[in-house]
Amino acid sequence: MTTQYGRSGPPPAKVDKEPVPGLLEDLALAAAKIYYLTAAGSGPRRRPSTVESLGRGPGRP
């Protein structure tokens, strides 16, 4: 078991070789889309509502 994931294992070699040339771009786009959807949601409605519920809305000390 030590030889499988020892100093010279298959996982790092696969990452270094990068079998799929467009995999990184796809992952980056997917991550950006997920982050945008999670952060913004359907417009800037989630952030203000959360801030107002906390009592720190714009105009409320």
Q: Indicate the domain borders of the chain.
A: 20-61
Question: Does the predicted TM-score (pTM) go above 0.75?
Answer: no
C-alpha distances (whole Å) from 7 to each of 2, 15, 16, 19 are: 9, 15, 14, 21
Angle, CA of 20, 25 and 30, to the nearest 5°: 115
Q: Which residues contact 52 (CB under 8 A, 6 or more apart)?
A: 60
Per-residue pLDDT of the chain (61 residues; tens, 9 = 90+): 455 555 555 555 555 555 666 778 888 888 888 877 776 655 555 455 555 555 555 555 5
